[in-house]
Amino acid sequence: MSLITTPNLADPDAAYAALLAAHKGLSEAESQALNARLVLVLMNHVGTGVFEEALALAKSAG
Q: How confident is the model at residue 62 (pLDDT cuts 50, 70, 90)?
A: confident
Taking the C-alpha atoms of residue 61 and residue 55, their distance in angstroms, rounded to an integer, is: 10
Give the model confidence (pLDDT) of 48-60 as tens digits.
Answer: 999 999 999 999 9
Round to whole Å and give the CA distance between 33 and 30. Answer: 5
- 12 exposed, middle or buried (CB, 10 Å; 0-12, 13-18, 19+)? exposed
Q: How confident is the model at residue 1 (pLDDT cuts 50, 70, 90)?
A: confident
pTM: 0.85
